[in-house]
């Protein structure tokens, strides 16, 4: 698309509710979505202007529609790439996962693969090129052995799932401008929580997180659980009725985008 | 049901404190609170009572909060009955699990009561429930009901998130719904241990998405348990 045409279209506040949301299931953008999309235009415009100064006839590349919404989806995609590859590798490693547990990991793996595909198509529909899959090192430079030690495989699986739950929650404010994306993100978020609960039980933990204690987890995963001990929800003391363990477990906490990225980056070469 | 609005006569100090209680950044909610405080008795009555004398959950974020409060009241009530009369032959592990669920749901319920009271006097009253087809002394019956309630809770929050305008409320709903999903997974695993049912194909679709249901669908499912009638006209529930 010609830059001038694009600028012209950007000046039309209906643009974001029509052409940019091509995925049919994601066209339900509310009035609040319109406003948020328009509010995001100045940032996008800055990118456009900088680019057009260099090459006015550049065709549309994948970053022109970058917004907090698509940044949130890119982060989610990174986490889903990580989980997807992790379970695929685990299932593909002979003798690692006991046969009785395979049904669980096959189900989780199936969902993570679907999440990757869904997020890629969503980003594309929003006019942004989905990020490429990073190169992962699940041993973190040889410090973990998840594909030779099943206990470690479970530890990292728990860490990834509990991280995923927190990371999606942390992006709620960034995706709420688009109701369809918000709902889909919530629908992925609860799947991650179902996974987390199951993996935690496979490690003889409760399915929920009491205090900031991951449950027999190595210190290397502390960042995943930092803040989970919170017992103050909007001024309400959740520890009053039954103590801090129950009060903290009744609520999962958010993880900021930067904290989630830092955790994921440990496993990215 | 006649609900007093004497709270609004106690002046700005109390109301400011109540709003601070929630530490809300949302202008919309603050405005809604102010609008209600400014109402006369008659106007206020009109706002939340319909001609049939049913409570209306309200509009905007207040409606969503009251909706969540109704569902949390149901879950808390159900698990209270479960832990007060454990089914025969229950294991210690299952006692611990159901006690945790009871704790979490009571905390959620009491949180919503406090949170809604902090921004409006249009607080859903304590509902009455019924469980005509539940046998609380039977494990399978209790587990099946718990599964239905937890899956319904997940689907309800997933479907209602888009109606929330205040990001702080959305985050709170997110903090709660993932715990409901953890519960659902646990109950499903009790019913069919070690299977794929914890996030089964009956609730997760081929795109990897959990169930999301509109309020009208939820009320038609959960309504059988709820004796106290209410409306949510904004969402088509009357």
Query: Lowest-confidence range among A46-55, A68-77, B227-236?
Result: A46-55
Residue B33 has pLDDT above 90, yes or no: no
Question: How many distinct structural domains can be found in chain B?
Answer: 1
| Predicted ipTM beyond 0.85 | no
Q: Name residues 14-33 of chain B within 8 A of A (Cβ).
A: 20-24
Question: Among A168, A172, A188, whose Cβ lies nearest the Cβ of B167?
Answer: A172
**Angle (deg, nearest 10), helices A3-10 and A41-54:** 170
pTM: 0.80
Cross-strand partners of A232: A237
Provide the residue range defining the domain that includes B127: 6-235
Strands A232-233, A236-237: pairing kind? antiparallel
Burial of B193 (0-12, 13-18, 19+ CB in 10 A): exposed
Residue B1 domain flag: no
CA distance A204 to B84: 26
Query: Lowest-confidence range among A11-15, A63-67, A204-208, B223-227?
Result: A11-15
Task: Please say whether the beta carbons of B79 and A242 come within 8 A.
Answer: no
Model confidence pLDDT, tens digit, residues A95-104: 999 999 999 9
**CA of B169: which chain A residue's CA is closest?**
A234
The mean pLDDT of A40-55, rounded to a whole number, is: 33
Model confidence pLDDT, tens digit, residues A152-180: 999 999 999 999 999 999 999 999 999 99
Please name which of B221, B101, B175 lies closest in space to residue A190, comparing C-alpha atoms: B175
Distance from CA of A85 to the nearest CA of B (A): 16
Contacts of A193 in chain B (CB under 8 A): 177-179, 181-182, 185
Distance from CA of B152 to the nearest CA of A (A): 12
Mutate to test the interface with A, among B26, B30, B162, B173 (most CBs of A within 10 A): B162
The rounded Cα B222 to chain-centroid distance in angstroms is 11
Report the pLDDT value the prediction gives residue A117, as an integer from 0 to 100. 98
> Span A68-265: which CATH code?
1.20.1260.10
Residue B79 domain flag: yes
**CATH at B154:** 1.20.1260.10
Q: Name residues 151-170 of chain B within 8 A of A (Cβ).
A: 154, 157-159, 161-162, 164-165, 167-168, 170
Question: Among B157, B164, B207, whose Cβ lies nearest the Cβ of A114?
Answer: B207
Residue B10 domain flag: yes
């Amino acid at each position: 698309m010609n830059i001038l045409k694009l600028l012209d279209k950007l000046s039309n506040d209906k643009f974001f509710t029509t052409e940019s949301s091509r995925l049919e299931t994601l066209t339900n953008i509310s009035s609040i979505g319109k406003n948020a999309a328009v509010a995001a235009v100045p940032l996008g415009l800055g990118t456009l202007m900088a680019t057009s100064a260099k090459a006015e006839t550049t065709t549309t590349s994948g970053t022109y529609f970058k917004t907090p919404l698509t940044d949130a989806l890119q982060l989610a995609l990174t986490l889903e790439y990580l989980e997807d590859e992790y379970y695929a590798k685990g299932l593909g490693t002979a003798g690692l996962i006991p046969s009785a547990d395979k049904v669980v990991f096959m189900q989780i793996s199936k969902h993570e693969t679907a999440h990757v595909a869904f997020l890629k198509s969503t980003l594309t529909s929003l006019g942004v090129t989905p990020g490429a899959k990073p190169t992962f090192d699940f041993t973190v430079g040889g410090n973990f052995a998840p594909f030779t030690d099943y206990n470690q495989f479970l530890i990292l699986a728990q860490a990834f799932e509990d991280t995923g739950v927190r990371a999606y929650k942390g992006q709620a404010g960034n995706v709420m401008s688009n109701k369809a994306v918000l709902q889909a993100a919530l629908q992925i978020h609860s799947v991650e929580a179902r996974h987390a609960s199951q993996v935690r039980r496979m490690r003889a933990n409760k399915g929920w997180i009491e205090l900031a204690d991951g449950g027999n987890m190595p210190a290397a995963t502390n960042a995943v659980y930092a803040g989970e001990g919170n017992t103050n929800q909007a001024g309400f003391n959740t520890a009053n009725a039954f103590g801090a363990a129950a009060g903290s477990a009744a609520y999962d906490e958010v993880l900021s985008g930067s904290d989630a990225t830092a955790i994921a980056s440990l496993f990215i070469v | 049901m006649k609900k007093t609005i004497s709270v609004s006569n106690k002046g700005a100090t109390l109301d400011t404190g109540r709003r601070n209680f929630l530490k809300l950044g949302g202008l919309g909610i603050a405005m809604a609170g102010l609008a209600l405080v400014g109402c006369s008795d008659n106007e206020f009555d009109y706002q939340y009572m319909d001609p049939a004398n049913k409570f209306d959950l309200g509009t905007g974020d207040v409606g969503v909060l009251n909706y969540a409060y109704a569902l949390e009241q149901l879950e808390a009530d159900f698990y209270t009955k479960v832990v007060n009369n454990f089914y025969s032959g229950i294991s210690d592990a299952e006692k611990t699990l159901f006690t945790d669920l009871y704790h979490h749901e009571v905390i959620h319920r009491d949180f919503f009561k406090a949170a809604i009271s902090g921004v409006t006097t249009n607080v859903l009253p304590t509902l009455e429930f019924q469980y005509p087809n539940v046998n609380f002394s039977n494990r399978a019956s209790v587990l099946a009901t718990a599964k239905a309630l937890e899956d319904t809770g997940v689907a309800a929050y997933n479907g209602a998130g888009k109606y929330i305008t205040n990001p702080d409320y959305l985050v709170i709903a997110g903090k709660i719904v993932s715990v409901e999903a953890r519960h659902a997974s646990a109950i499903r695993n009790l019913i069919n241990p070690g299977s794929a049912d914890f996030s089964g194909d009956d609730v997760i679709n081929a795109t990897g998405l959990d169930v999301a249901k509109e309020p009208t669908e939820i009320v038609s499912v959960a309504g059988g348990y709820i004796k106290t009638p209410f409306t949510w006209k904004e969402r088509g529930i009357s």
